[in-house]
A and B are shown apart, each in its own frame.
Chain A
Amino acid sequence: MEKKTLFDKIWDAHVVRSVPDGPDVFFIDKHFIHEVTSPVAFLNLEKRGIGVLYPERTIATPDHNVPTVDQEKTIKDKLSRMQVEKLRDNCKKYGIELHDLGSAHHGIVHVIGPELGVTQPGMTIVCGDSHTSTHGAFGAIAFGIGTSEVEMVLATQCIMQSKPKRMRITVDGELGKGVTSKDIILYIIAKISAAGATGYFVEYAGSAIRNLSMEARMTICNMSIEMGARGGVIAPDETTFNYLKGKQYAPKGEAWDKAVAYWKTLQTDEGAEFDKEYHFEGSDIEPMITYGTNPGMGIKVIDSIPTTEGMEGSNKASFMKSLDYMGFAPGEPIKGKKVDYVFVGSCTNGRIEDIRAVANFVKGKHKADNITAWIVPGSREVEKLAHEEGLVKILEEAGFELRQPGCSACLAMNDDKIPAGKYAVSTSNRNFEGRQGPGARTLLASPLTVAAVAVTGEITDPRDIF
């Protein structure tokens, strides 16, 4: 029998037909939409005079531009309000399930999908958002698409896709103290670069990955796009099944047993071939932080910013432009740099486990005076748990400001902006120029490192203050 990778098994089962010297017609099981990348898709459906083929396969929530204060009131920003209202109108018109602001399951689309149990192994999942790769943590093929493709999925439940190549990244061994899944993925991206997996779909494997919780696996798959990959997948196992069991949309009773039996087949066959493989040792990974303007520009917190030795031409020029933007010099240590803001949140690290990690760390401590600390839960469910577990009290006593769920300062479409020139250490996914506000300087790190920075007011190794 042909030996297949997990990725091949799921992909091949969703090909309606292959176009000769062209893409596959690729069937989509679940489609998530939000207010920013869907309005033009709906508008085009209207222009064409066609409807939504399978409305029950699409789930909506407003997350990108929503305010994180006073969500119960009318949105002040006119354009944001129009987008959210448009989403409501379109969901009503076409019969699409909407988790609106203030409802029990409102939140960032990549946080609520798994929480609701919509995300399941073996599925194909798309959304007009590149961090759709998050859902790959469940053994699903999940990736971001453009608005034209959102329109295609609404109209036909399919998109035209050429099959990516296969890459496997194996991380074996134990992780050291203070090292989290965020450090694993920042380490991998620093090793293979921000474009190192372009053209590939990645499977993450190895004992260090297998030992991670679902939340931690989601953090890894989430950032697959930051090395250019279409997506990342982790084979489902007992951790996956335990997470899903009892969730609202998870199968129940006999259907559950049948589903689990199928999910257990979703493994890469022994001897199946990948187009590219990388191996890393968990013990080599230490707390990481980025110093530049793409997620590949990352180092260990204890290391110095690279020098320009060996760099040439446009490579060197691009590197220096990055450092100029950040206000850093080649070769200087990153530890001890003053910071102005910390942000805990986003589809990368806005889950309950992340909030717990930060709360445990700052318990009985207080943020430094020079720090403004925002904590934005990924969903209402996360917010509710954080209250119930007493985490909110701990965080507020430590000087953190808790806001309401949304994408928030990860991309600063709402008012949660880092001012120009200020430094933010953030649990989010992108350190691009201006990502957190025009002129803002972003350093990406794990929730633990962010907590340590909040307490000291400067770039800090979390292991120094355990």
Chain B
Amino acid sequence: MPYDKFNVLKSAVVPLSRENVDTDQIIPARFLKATEREGFGDNLFRDWRYDVEGNPKPDFVLNDTTYSGKILVAGKNFGSGSSREHAVWAIYDYGFRCVVSSFFADIFKNNCLNIGVLPVTVSPEFLDKIFAAVEADPKTELEVDLDKQSITLLSTGDAESFEINTYKKENMKNGFDDIDYLLNIKGEIEEFESKG
């Protein structure tokens, strides 16, 4: 469905340096029992964020008021495992619009692009720089410019370019999803199908 257009995002970040964060951590399976796409942000990182009684765990970054912002910065191989799009719904619903890591799992990355969360892949060195800068100053901001395909650490001026294909970039800039494109070429698809 249509989502907010993405152009330039300037924001402080929430750092989650742990590697191999799978989608079961992002949203555990027991919270997938909805028939509508609402409220998933409440259970984002549920079992890291709350104890069994539902009390916030103070040592988890989402419960630390020092950190805030619309950009989640995560360790490598973020989003592995289950194909549940609910993981990205939870990230979006919580308020993030961009996830930065040095490596993303494939299906997770596709799911992000389909609902308007920008996955930005940076080098491991740049990722380390971000973590170091945020540790030194939690208010450190990143600027993500989709059109220029650049990500800048504003405190130091360090910048990198990131990859995204032209098609997906235009979609994100306009808030379009793939289904709009597919519906426009329905005739061509029907012809393909009939040739079986």
Partner of A433, one of B1, B24, B52, B76: B24
List the A side residues contacting B84 at CB < 8 Å.
36-37, 146
Q: Does A83 contact B (CB under 8 A)?
A: yes
Q: Does B148 contact A (CB under 8 A)?
A: no
Q: Does A157 contact B (CB under 8 A)?
A: yes
CA gap between A155 and B178 in the complex, in Å: 11
- Cβ-defined contact, A43 with B36, below 8 A: yes
Minimum CB–CB distance for B182 against chain A, Å = 4
Q: Does A86 contact B (CB under 8 A)?
A: yes
- Cβ-defined contact, B77 with A198, below 8 A: yes
Minimum CB–CB distance for B43 against chain A, Å = 12
Given contacts A148-B177, A434-B28, A438-B47, contact A130 B18 (CB under 8 A): no
List the B side residues contacting A129 at CB < 8 Å.
82-83
List the B side residues contacting A157 at CB < 8 Å.
189, 193
Which A261-302 residues sit within 8 Å CB-CB of chain B?
A: 293-294
Q: Does A76 contact B (CB under 8 A)?
A: no
- Cβ-defined contact, B182 with A146, below 8 A: no
Partner of A314, one of B17, B30, B168: B17
List the B side residues contacting A194 at CB < 8 Å.
20, 77, 80
Which A193-221 residues sit within 8 Å CB-CB of chain B?
A: 194-195, 198-199
CA gap between A158 and B52 in the complex, in Å: 42
Which B17-50 residues sit within 8 Å CB-CB of chain A?
A: 17-20, 22, 24-25, 28-30, 32-37, 47
Q: Does A80 contact B (CB under 8 A)?
A: yes
Q: Does A25 contact B (CB under 8 A)?
A: yes
* Stretch of A12-20, A171-179, A342-350, A389-397 lying at the B interface: A12-20
CA gap between A65 and B183 in the complex, in Å: 32
- Cβ-defined contact, B178 with A160, below 8 A: yes
Which B133-180 residues sit within 8 Å CB-CB of chain A?
A: 165-168, 177-179
CA gap between A54 and B196 in the complex, in Å: 13
* Stretch of A315-323, A373-381, A454-462 lying at the B interface: A315-323
Q: Known pairs A19-B167, A130-B81; list 14 more (Cβ under 8 Å).
A: A17-B185, A82-B33, A146-B84, A148-B178, A149-B178, A160-B181, A194-B77, A314-B18, A314-B19, A318-B20, A411-B24, A433-B25, A435-B24, A438-B30
Interface residues of B (CB under 8 A from A): 1, 17-20, 22, 24-25, 28-30, 32-37, 47, 52, 75-77, 80-86, 88, 103-107, 110-111, 114-115, 165-168, 177-179, 181-183, 185-186, 188-190, 192-193
